[in-house]
Structure 1
């Protein structure tokens, strides 16, 4: 027979659960998106504006003028970020990328050299991601469980491992597509289209990979909850 105390406890638990649901929903809404992690729209500008300036300046001023303009814009974005007392990492990353790309372009004596580092970086990234799947340690799963402190148990559950395989192979497809398309454009010496491909195959494709990654994490979380539920009765015996 249910006592009055048990009824009060049950009612209190229901009220607590009802209170926690809106709080959890609010926390989910506040979770930063992929765009937020990249510094928002301004963060994308810090990454891509030097590229656009390089292509335009190369048409008007030649290679040396393009190199100077791209680096000057990247430096200017860093200074702007500092004066606004905003995090400078997106701008510093853009400056570093522009400086390295400009150096390669100067050494090769060709504007298309500006994109060479990014092209081959995509190939290396694609290879590393694919290897992680082949050795049964898909990179997305490894990173997620390192961050969450999930240990190695996820690798022994086939549905979870499959989900992380799919997410990691999506990331491989992004890197491989970037290398294939941009290397082809590099060989064709189409600097303008190289810039377009670098931008178009950057955040949009990574956004797609992020969606698949989120799906994999949610699937893995549900599997963990199911497995935990199956273990509880056994532990109680």
Structure 2
């Protein structure tokens, strides 16, 4: 007995229907994965680790070339490992901007200037988002998950996202205050240490705290919706 053909030309119309009705669920990336993962955070420190000692032994020009070469190598590694085109390009572009500023300033400490001012800008944006009642952690979380803005009507939920956003504002503010002071002192070595120490380790702790706060906010939403 030959199988009946469905309207779409398949051997069994019901089988095609079942496939359409049972799509594989899409897994939402974690907060850390959205930031490039642990490897992405570590990759960002490699050009700095190369730049500072090369500058100490061979001068600024050699350090610029070494940092760019290292960033290009990291870029190729991330492309080969298929870790995402956008993080790879942004990492390479970030190093290019840093070495350009260092060259224009004529001092190795200029390498860190872009990152210092960027952290200040992030801190301001995060604080403003809380003041206007659109905390960025809540906005980002619901944007990634394709959800609406109903969460803003729940006071306790909004408060949880406010706290998470304020935590990141404090992280960025601490980075700015510490590194800007070291920049003024011309302490290039300590600038590199502060950038690494206040980089991925501090980011990892902030991510863990954010996950706890976001889960609390989600529970608050579920309670209100029930």
TM bucket, shorter chain: 0.7 to 0.9
Aligned position for 1:55? 52
Higher relative contact order (CA 8 A, sep 6+): 2
Match of 1:183 in 2: 180
For residue 58 of structure 1, report the CA deviation from its aligned partner.
0.3
Measured in 2, the distance between the counterparts of 1:150 and 1:167 equals 19
**Structure 2-normalised TM-score?**
0.80
Looking at structure 2, the residues matched to 114 and 33 of structure 1 have their Cα atoms a distance apart, in angstroms, of 31
Equivalence map 1:29-40=2 (5 Å) = 35-40=32-37
| 1:89-168 mapped onto 2 (5 Å cutoff) | 89-168=86-165
CA distance in 1, matches of 2:59, 2:128: 41
1:143 and 1:84 map into 2 onto residues whose CA distance is 27
Q: In 2, Cα distance between the equivalents of 1:83 and 1:136?
A: 42
Q: Quick check: 2:167–2:206 contact (8 Å CA) kept in 1? A: yes
TM alignment of 1:11-30, pairs within 5 A = none
Contact persistence 1:47–1:93 (CA under 8 A)? no
1:201 and 2:202 are equivalent in the alignment: no
The one-character-per-residue Cα deviations of 1:23-82 (angstroms, maximum 9, x if unpaired) are xxxx9xx97655544545543343111111110100011111110111011112223444
- Report if aligned partners of 2:42, 2:200 keep a CA contact under 8 Å in 1: no
Which whole-Å CA distance do the structure 2 matches of 1:169 and 1:228 have between them?
26
Q: Which stretches in structure 1 are left out of the alignment for 5+ residues?
A: 1-26, 230-237
How many pairs are equivalent? 201
Give the helix-richer structure, 1 or 2.
1
Report the aligned-residue RMSD.
2.2
Distance 1:92 1:153, change over 3 A: closer
d(CA) in 2 for partners of 1:159 and 1:71? 47
Superposition TM-score, scaled by structure 1 size: 0.77
Counterpart among 208, 211, 219 of residue 211 in structure 1 = 208
